[in-house]
Structures are given as structure tokens and as C-alpha cells.
Structure 1
Amino acid sequence: MRMSMSICKQTSHLLHIPTSGIDLKDLCRWPQKEKVVVVMGATGTGKSRLSIDLATRFPAEIVNSDKMQVYEGLDIVTNKITKEERCGVPHHLLGVVDPNKDVSATTFCTMASLAVNSIVRRGQLPIIVGGSNSFIEALIDDEEHEFRSKYECCFLWVDVSMPVLNSFVSHRVDRMVERGMINEVRNMFNENADYSRGIRRAIGVPEFHHFFRGESLISDEETRARLLEEAINAIKINTRKLAHRQRKKISRLKKLKGWKIHQLDATDAFRNRGRESDEAWENLVAGPSTEIVSQFLYNFHPLVYSNLMGMRALKAAATHT
């Protein structure tokens, strides 16, 4: 579910909360703790889309918590949000680390804490978003409870039923191939590479190893095509397995650790196409999330957000008068 510039236009300033000349900290009346929103979910569920929805409705900046997207390069393989899709929202820890280095949970926590602190100092809302739940857990529940002592968190879980998500991520791999994933990985192929370090751990890199190694040695087109198909199928299988693990991890955080996580079922948005999909997303995910965050920040529900479809109709009518 890729985003388009139309989404940026639809979501901008829907709440009409006046922020000019007002520091977010004063508006939200935070006597002790600053506030942070955390967007969670398995790979492919639309976390980036929701983070942009929220960041264009609240004065916010986004902190990436995906352990592969933190590395520079392989934008297609790691499915980084594009500059166009960011809608002008500042992003932190996205493509900033040498792809050959390892980023541990400890290193991530240090970088993320600095980013969150800088965002709060500017009077903005930090939105942490990514599928690496181990990184998020390490940051939120650090041993000294330092993060919890400074920040109050609102957790949003974008969820999609596994059968629907399995189908979606398989199709997404096909689209990644169409966008140039194979050449992107080929350009950094090294027969002696260590696939346990850096960005080469990303799903979509080690799966191509046998294909690239035999590509120049095998002249038979049918054999080469079979190796390529096997590599692509392996990526699909491993992506589905990753999504399943991520979903279980979030359930564990909710049930065993007691995290108060707001679960938003986006399944219908993935079942539908076009306008129906966008409407389902707004009604089931973006709209409810906006109200949850509004309550979290301001302790009230903005009056302007009662009928999004009516607002769109009025806006469309005004445009054509």
C-alpha cells in the first residue's frame, strides 16, 4: 500500500488546531512528562502511511525505528518511504548509518533518545515508527526506566489479518522487483559478503546470493530463470515469516508486558482497491488514530473531526465554484 501526494493533500490541516506562535508543550499542558506516539505493526501494514497521516494533522516529526531502514542505501529492498511520500515531514534515523556497520539496540536507543529530545525541544510531537519491535522495546523499557521517566507513550498498532497480509506482501515483492530491486542488490553483491552484518541482513539480499553467483557461470536461460524465481519466492516466504514474528511480538508486548496498545484493524483497507481502500483506511485507521492521539495530547476530541467525508465534499464543492 504505497502512498501518493493526494494523501498528503487530503490529510493536511484537517484538525485546524492553531499552532502558530504556540509551543506544543504549553498547548498540551504537560506538567511532568513529554509525550511520544509510537506506531507499530508488521511489515507491509501501512505504518509509514499512518505516521504521515498523523504528522500532517499534528505538529510532529518522525523517528524511524526500523533496523534496516536506518542504514544508507537499498531503498527499494528496505522499502524506505520516498521523499515525495514524506509530505515534507522531517524524518530522523532514516538512511543515516554506514551499510557495512552494525547498529545494536543500545546504539539505536542512544540515537533515538537524542532525536526524540531534539524534537521535543522544538515543541514538536515525536512519532516513532517502524517494524523492529525489539528496538522499540529496548528504547521504551530500558533497564533504568529512563525513557519512561521522561516520556508518556501512546502506542498504535496497525494490524492486518495474516491471510490478507501474506497476499499483500507477496505482491509487494513483485512490485519491488519491477521497481529495480534485483539491480539494486546486484550493485552491492560480493561473493564473500557476510550476511550477518549491516544492511546485508535485510530480507532481499542473501536470497539473491546463489542467483548472482551463478549468473555469469550458467549460460542456460531456463536454469537462470529458475534460480531467479527461487530467490524471489524465498524473499516472499521470509517476508511472510517476518510479518508473523512481528505480529506475535506486539501481542506479547500487549499481553505479557501490559503495554496499552491501541489495535487498529486495517484489513478492509487492504482487501479493497482505489477509493474504497482509501475510505476504509480513513474510517478504520487514520481517523480513529487521530482521535486517540487528540485525546492523548489535548484530553479532548477536536470538534472539526466529526465527518471527514462531509469535509471532503465541501472542499471539492468549494474548489469547483
Structure 2
Amino acid sequence: MASILDFHALNKKKVVFIMGANGTGKTRLSVDLATHFLAEIINSDKIQVYKGLDIVTNKISDLDRRGVAHHLLGELDPEADFTARDFCLHALNSIDFIVRREKVPIVVGGSNTYLEALVEDRFFQFKDKYDCCFLWVDVMLPILNLFVSKRVDEMVHAGLVEEVRGMFGPGAEYTWGIRRAIGVPELDSYFRADSMVDVD
């Protein structure tokens, strides 16, 4: 029995997970790995799954993808309520698609609740089918703070405020969909005040 189990374990398909705080370089690492190995990338960031707000959500550009296929990135309706269960079902479909093509799935993103549901929930039987390699990207806090501050400045210069303004509406709901993105609820009061300024 032990030898059969060992054989089964050796024949499980491999899935790589890249985790870490915002701004630690997870996306860049995923593309570097995918260009060195036969791999495709599955986004696990719960905001980047939505279409739109590419600046605010810091989606990787087509150029920076370097020809690597990305799944669950900018695919959903911005108003959709995408749950952890929804992610698991979509991610499993993508993983199965990738491994059937003899490639390695690399799951990357910052939504750890999604990853925990995928790997640990017995309903999905993930551990029965796949072996996991978890990579945690860590950066010293002072360096990370400098990088994140610089990135926010770059996002503002790239048009972050006007991008969010395009989705602004009185009474907008910020508890689901893409409007949960960091920066969108915070700009609501700014747009409300701005609309009341007398420009004459």
C-alpha cells in the first residue's frame, strides 16, 4: 500500500504558488519563472480578476507579460460578486487546462483567503490531485515602503484619479466588485467635494 501511495504522490502534477505583501515583486518573479520553465500564470488577486481600472489595480501590462499566458486576469464584469468559492472553481479549471497542455501552473497574487480555500477545502480535493510549492516573497519594510510610495506616485501620474473618476457615481456600492479596490472608496469623498466646488 505504501508503495502505491508513493507512486501516486510522485505522479501528482505540480502547482507553484507565489505569495507575499503588495509591492514585493510577486508578479515579476512569476513572469521570470514562467519564461524559464514551461509555465502559465493564474492570477489570485481578488480585485485584478475584474475588467477595468488597470492603473488602480496595477495589472501587469501586455508588454511586461513577455508572451506568458495569464488566466483570471481582467476577465470578470466589474459589478460581479466574485467569492472565494468562485475563485476555486475558476482556478481549478485553469489549472486543469494548463496541466493538460504539459505546462506548470503558477498561481500568483495577494488574496491569501482565496488560496487557503483552494488548497485546504476538502470539497475541492486539491491535495489529492496536486503537489504544491509555496514561494513567499519578503522585502525589508523600509525598502518596501519606499517602493510602494514610488509606485503610488507613478500610478497617480499615469492617470489613477481620472480612471477612478470614470467609475464614480453618487450612491456607488463599495462592498463588492471592482469598487473594493484600494483607492476607489477613498476617492469617493474627494469626488463629492470636487463636484460641489464653484468654478466660476
Task: Give TM-score, length-normalised by structure 2.
Answer: 0.92
SS of 1:88's equivalent in the other structure is coil
Equivalent residues, number: 192
Q: After the TM superposition, which residues 98-247 of structure 1 pair with which residues of structure 2 at under 5 Å, given as runs? A: 98-144=77-123, 146-219=125-198
Q: CA deviation at 1:105?
A: 0.2
2: distance between equivalents of 1:94 and 1:210? Answer: 29
Query: Which amino acid in the other structure matches residue 70 of structure 2?
Result: H
1: distance between equivalents of 2:124 and 2:90? Answer: 17
Q: CA deviation at 1:120?
A: 0.2
CA contact (8 A) 2:118 2:124 kept: no
2: distance between equivalents of 1:185 and 1:192? Answer: 15
1: distance between equivalents of 2:118 and 2:140? Answer: 27
2: distance between equivalents of 1:91 and 1:30? Answer: 27
The structure with more radius of gyration:
1
Q: CA deviation at 1:38?
A: 0.5
Q: CA deviation at 1:46?
A: 0.5
Query: Which amino acid in the other structure matches residue 85 of structure 1?
Result: D
CA contact (8 A) 2:80 2:176 kept: yes
- Identify the match of residue 48 of structure 2 among 59, 69, 74: 69
Query: Which amino acid in the other structure matches residue 94 of structure 2?
Result: A
- Identify the match of residue 44 of structure 1 among 3, 20, 23: 23
2: distance between equivalents of 1:199 and 1:113? Answer: 22
2: distance between equivalents of 1:146 and 1:116? Answer: 13
Q: CA deviation at 1:216?
A: 2.4
Query: Which amino acid in the other structure matches residue 169 of structure 1?
Result: V
Q: CA deviation at 1:217?
A: 1.3
2: distance between equivalents of 1:190 and 1:180? Answer: 18
Cα shift readout 1:89-120 (whole Å, capped 9, x = no counterpart): 00000001111011100000000000000000
1:168 to 1:219, Cα distance in 2 relative to 1, 3 A: farther
Cα root mean square deviation, aligned:
1.5
Query: Which amino acid in the other structure matches residue 127 of structure 2?
Result: R
Q: CA deviation at 1:203?
A: 0.3
Q: Higher RCO, 1 or 2 (CA under 8 Å, sep at least 6)?
A: 2
**Higher share of residues assigned helix:** 1
1: distance between equivalents of 2:171 and 2:9? Answer: 53
